[in-house]
Structure 1
């Protein structure tokens, strides 16, 4: 069965999705991005992609296209060589969004080329999936980003610390801090905010509810900046911690954990 490989090349992980025409996104995997200065080899990444296909029962010859959004430029030629060697078919090559596949969304960034491909694809995916006029897309990735979409235009947004990067900064900067689970109720009672009675519990409560409060406050302020009531800005959460934070944050209207993958697949369909 024809399959499209989708790659979200981020600073922390490379997320890989398999999608099929007529069926949509089938499954996703996350592999750690190579450390800075060591992007890996084409053979290494090619074998990783090949193994994922084998796990899913997909023959390499069934991969009709490979589409990527990348914010790690040194990895792009490595992944392109991997695609050519392990999945190469006549006329086929890895295509990057938005350079090789333009997105049907107006980019109003002051310097459009500075927008991360991940943010633009996520905004495009949100616009395609949700009819609300004003959208706020909160992506819990390496950083926590807020992206604003009105009508058919991407307006820009905010970049804030990420959940994991904040936790790691605390852990590496303080000798006696315990392991941080980032799981509500892992060290104490379930439910709403409560006073931590251990260091681990205090950290978990502070990080999770702190980020939930940040989303609530910034969503309200961004809505006002965009000239709409808070309830008229549809807030979509995506990324690894989207579901955990959404459970604590009434401001989040919808969770789409694979929104970027959805955007990549829709971009690929539009370019067929």
Structure 2
């Protein structure tokens, strides 16, 4: 169901805004460049939790050198991170490299998004961005399944973030299983021919993939029942989103850039009083 609320996007006078967005996840970091609403470049990096601002600046500067967009064309910068220790290095690097203040996504600058969470500040920035992006697309109710290190089911009800579900991601499940079970070794993750496997490797694969799929379909059904909206759309995003979306009819669309779209909107429209890049620029990492 789509909302009739008006879209609000501030534009640079006479030109389309050019926005650099960064989504720092537990395992991977995605860097993207938007021109207006279009993704013109993006890169996927391994998240290194001990990285410094100099290392970030060197990596990002190198990647932007291959972009169609020059750094001095960038008008806005947005950052979402679920790794608190990396917030300061990324702010400092982006601020120094792009000479623009960095809008860091948090529960207070998501364009007036209602957050129905016991402690709104504990809601993941990436989860809020997913809902902001869906609201901007015109939806009032929706489920966003973001499949990364953790898989989150982000629920949008009446245009607000209504909470959701968090379960281990596929790779995290494999790591936990092989770490705790002495005779089970890591396997390549690919779909086995059948659920009932005649060897240990395929048995692990079947449990991981078909088990995850069954869990996903069950939770989608339960969420729709609790919300009382059987026709609410289900979008998938994240590293495993495309693979899983192909295997179930319950996912309506896969959008690899959904979280980045939300960061873009916050970068353009977020409350600038929540930016503190000056402090981050002057403070060295410990």
TM-score range, shorter chain: 0.7 to 0.9
CA offsets, 1:18-52, max 9 Å, x none? 1112x5112322212223xx2x2111100111111
Which structure 1 residue ranges, 5 or more long, are not aligned? none
Mark the runs of 5 or more structure 2 residues left unpaired by the alignment. 1-15, 273-286
Q: Matched residues in 2 for 1:46 and 1:99: separation? A: 27
**1:176, CA displacement in angstroms?**
4.1
Partner of 1:213: 214
Cα-to-partner distance string for 1:166-199 (whole Å, 9 max, x where unaligned):
01112333344344222225xxx4xxx4422222
Whose strand proportion is higher, 1 or 2? Answer: 1
Does structure 1 conserve the Cα–Cα contact (< 8 Å) formed by 2:56 and 2:90? yes
**1:215 touches 1:249 (CA, 8 Å); kept in 2?**
no
Correspondence 1:1-272 to 2 at 5 A = 3-21=18-36, 23-35=37-49, 38=50, 40-88=51-99, 92-98=100-106, 101-131=109-139, 133-185=140-192, 189=193, 193-229=194-230, 232-271=231-270
CA distance in 2, matches of 1:120, 1:84: 23
TM-score w.r.t. the length of structure 2 is 0.82
TM-score by length of 1: 0.86
C-alpha separation between the residues in 1 aligned to 2:156 and 2:83? 24
RMSD of Structure 2 on Structure 1 (CA):
2.1
**Which deviates the most, 55-64 or 157-166?**
55-64
Does 1 or 2 have the higher relative contact order (CA < 8 Å, sep 6+)? Answer: 2
